[in-house]
Chains A and B, each alone.
Chain A
Amino acid sequence: MLSFENAPPFSAPLRFFLTAPLFAVLAGLLLVIEGPVVFTSRWTPGALAATHLLTVGFMLQVMLGALIQVLPVVAGADLPRPLALARAVHVGLTGGGLLLVGGFWFGLPWALAGGALLLGLTVFLFLIVMWRALLGVPSTSPSIRGIKFALLGLAVVVGLGLLMALALAEGWPLPLPLLADLHAGWGLAGWAGVLLAAMAYVVVPMFQLTPGYPARPSWWFPLAILAALLVWSIGVVFDLPWLVRASQLAAAVAGITFAGLTLRLQGKRRRAKADATYRYWQMGMVASILALLMLGIAAVWPAASELDGWTIGFGILIVAGGFLSFIVGMLYKIVPFLAWMHLQNYGATKATAPAMPRLMPDVEVNRQMQAYGVALVLLLAAVVFPDWLGRLAGLAFALANGGLAWVLFRAVGRYRQAWLDMTLKLAIKKK
């Protein structure tokens, strides 16, 4: 649905979308600098820094920016001052993310604690505004319910992250490996996974012209994930490893079911042309299913996670293969659409906005997607051959994400040019 009066200014979400790829470029450069050692263990400073460059620097940036944009459209909840909120959250996320990553990479306790505190404060502000906007909004669709549950997941993942960062910085005696798994679970499943599903219910049928998600599973998926994470948390608190593994298995099964359902819907799409969004989502679904199979296998057979490269491979599949692919796929629809919508409303009936493919040409998008696919394969191969491929994979990943930044910045440049052209046309017509 198109509605201009509900939409925040373009610059509100755009700042997040343009910053995110730069964090992913940094992650690639980190791999080039650090080399094979990053692929040896998830606990190395480089691996921790790279993980948070992608999860906080890329994923959280886009997800919060997109929520500011879509909340009025998906939930009918208006944010009072979207641009002011976007500015504050963007500064907090960018500064906090860089500090946190610097803290991990260079082993600086003050940066780790400072970054985590800044991120915690920023997300707290965001959650307060969201909570006030959603207060009194009934959960009339699975998407609204999903967004509410995802925000709960965001509160927990950030709370756990803050606790661990302070524990690391201050030397508090906490079971960090157990908490790190739980933190990752709440972040990837409770926040990112549930938000992705809530968005997918709307955008997959809308962008890819597929049938809708059946009501019952869409209604229950967010609850199933949150229930599994609550049980997982109880297992950690009461030191019950079997309960932790059972809940991980349940989360994996729920995730695979959602991914399988999405693939089935995509198979029934009415849009004949397989565009970049569709291809990116297919890549994301396949990578996610593989990652979730690994999670399921490790839950049943814990020794698997001790195998060389198992956890790093899982992380690459779920983050770079899954979530980043979904997000980039959506950006390639959302950015040209928003640009076109703002131009269209500016010109009204007096000046015509350029068509979306002119703002973001397919040829640029497809080239970037191919580069990303190559980078992903190289990253996965580098898990097996870190000495040969570690740095090369990092370079490929940096280039692919540099390509993403280039495509997005070019689209914004064309948008600005079109705005100027239309201003000129409108001025001439006035005369």
Chain B
Amino acid sequence: MSHPKTPHVVDARYMEPPGPFVETMEMLDTLKDGEKMLLLLFREPHPLYKVLRQNGHDYETELLPDGTFEILITR
């Protein structure tokens, strides 16, 4: 799945925990420094945010009208 913001997308909207966390960390591992990936979820993943901050990754979150949180993560 691709997206205007980045070709690297994890659509975790219908995924049970811990799927979204695991798939995001796995995709981050495949990216080069400075590359971006997008995580789509119906909630804000605060525990993931914490791990991202600890690992020095930036992220930006946008709430869409349908309730999707788009989290753009920079490796």
Please list the residues of chain A having a beta carbon within 8 angstroms of any beta carbon in chain B.
1-3, 5-6, 72-76, 140-141, 143-144, 201-202, 205-206, 209, 211-216, 218, 270, 337
Contacts and interface: CB of A to CB of B under 8 A. Distances in A.
A72 B43 contact: no
A215 B63 contact: yes
A408 B17 CA distance: 22
Nearest to B40: A212
Contacts, number: 81
A215 B47 contact: no
B51 A3 contact: yes
A140 B49 CA distance: 13
A143 B64 CA distance: 15
Interface string B57-74: 000010111111100000
Query: How many interface residues does chain B have, given as a range?
Result: 20 to 34
B50 A6 contact: yes
Contact of B49 (A76, A144, A212): A76
Given A205-B42, A206-B42, A212-B42, A2 B65 contact: no
Given A3-B21, A205-B13, A212 B66 contact: yes
A215 B67 contact: yes
B46 A214 contact: no
15 contacts: A1-B18, A1-B45, A1-B48, A6-B50, A72-B47, A76-B50, A143-B44, A144-B44, A205-B13, A205-B42, A205-B43, A206-B42, A215-B67, A218-B67, A337-B17
Contacts of B50: 3, 5-6, 76
A26 to B, nearest CB: 35
A2 B43 contact: no
Nearest to B44: A141
B65 A216 contact: yes
A372 B36 CA distance: 50
A5 B53 CA distance: 14
A214 B63 CA distance: 10
A301 B56 CA distance: 61
A286 B66 CA distance: 25
